[in-house]
Amino acid sequence: MAPKVLIVQGSTAHRSRLASVAAIASEAAEATGGDVRTWDLADSPLPVMSLSDPRQRRLPEVVAVREAAAEADGFVFITPEYHGNMSGALKNWFDFLYLELAGKFAGVLAVTGGGGGDMSILSVKNSFNWCHGFTLPFHAAARPEDFEDNELVNQRVIERIRRVSSDVVRYAPLIRNTFEEARTGGDDWRNGVAGMHAKG
Ligand SMILES: Cc1cc2nc3c(=O)[nH]c(=O)nc-3n(C[C@H](O)[C@H](O)[C@H](O)COP(=O)(O)O)c2cc1C
């Protein structure tokens, strides 16, 4: 079975430079053998997560997001850098999820307005790690000068995006299978973090 990769595009802007980055990531993940789906938060917005509204979890858009995340073996997250952080829309996406991300693998990409992208990339990695997800120790960021008419043209950045996307296809099934195997072993320290998500 081809590894399932969910590309999460974390901008609410319809004419975003993230679209070009997502297309390059998608092509590279497919070329490596991934079964790729893209989730664009501009096309599929979520309400702000509210713990005071128990009906929210049953909203079709929330159910769809949780199902898509549960199905995926791995993720490529693309965030715009907002105030030295990931976008609020992407953080809100994380707030609806936890178990769907545990034992999964992710690569992270950022698009900035001039910054290096490290802070927004780290914020995404932090959130994913705190959901017990594993992240690739390599990433890519694109600045405005790397684009022409919203198309990414900087070959060095394109190559980094391709490496990240290819690695997600490569490592996601290994991490998920290993985690699932340990998870079935029960809540014993010998099963590591996966044991904390023991079945049954
Ligand atoms: C609310 C907001 C905050 C931003 N903060 C930063 C920032 O801290 N660092 C930076 O380099 N760019 C910042 N930018 C610029 C965005 O990173 C940039 O416009 C975006 O990633 C590029 O995607 P776009 O094509 O959707 O605009 C900010 C933009 C907005 C709207």
Note the pLDDT tens digit of each residue in 145-173: 999 999 999 999 999 999 999 999 999 99
Residue nearest to atom 8 of ligand 1 (CA): 83
Rounded CA gap, 121 and 116, in Å? 10
Can you give the pLDDT at residue 133? 98
Can you give the pLDDT at residue 200? 65
Residue 56 CA to ligand 1 center (angstroms) comes to 29
Give the up-direction half-sphere exposure of residue 68: CA atoms within 13 A in the CB hemisphere.
21
Can you give the pLDDT at residue 163? 98
What integer is the mean pLDDT of 36-63? 96
Could you tell me the CA-to-CA distances from 62 to 44, 95, 102, 157 in Å, in that order? 10, 11, 18, 33
Which 3 state secondary structure label does DSSP give 117? coil
Which 3 state secondary structure label does DSSP give 12? coil
DSSP class of residue 95 equals H
Mutate to test the pocket of ligand 1, among 83, 120, 121, 122 (most ligand atoms within 8 A of CB): 83
* Percent over 70 (pLDDT), the chain: 100
Rounded CA gap, 121 and 124, in Å? 5
What residues flank ligand 1, with Cβ below 6 Å?
Answer: 11, 13, 16-18, 80-84, 111-115
Residue 42 has pLDDT above 80, yes or no: yes
Residue 46 has pLDDT above 90, yes or no: yes
Can you give the pLDDT at residue 199? 76
Whether residue 80 contacts residue 47, with contact meaning beta carbons closer than 8 Å, is answered with no
76-119 residue pLDDT tens: 999 999 999 999 999 999 999 999 999 999 999 999 999 999 99
What domains are there in the chain, each with its CATH number? 4-195 (3.40.50.360)
What integer is the mean pLDDT of 28-33? 98
Residue 140 CA to ligand 1 center (angstroms) comes to 16
Residue 82 CA to ligand 1 center (angstroms) comes to 5
pTM summary value: 0.97
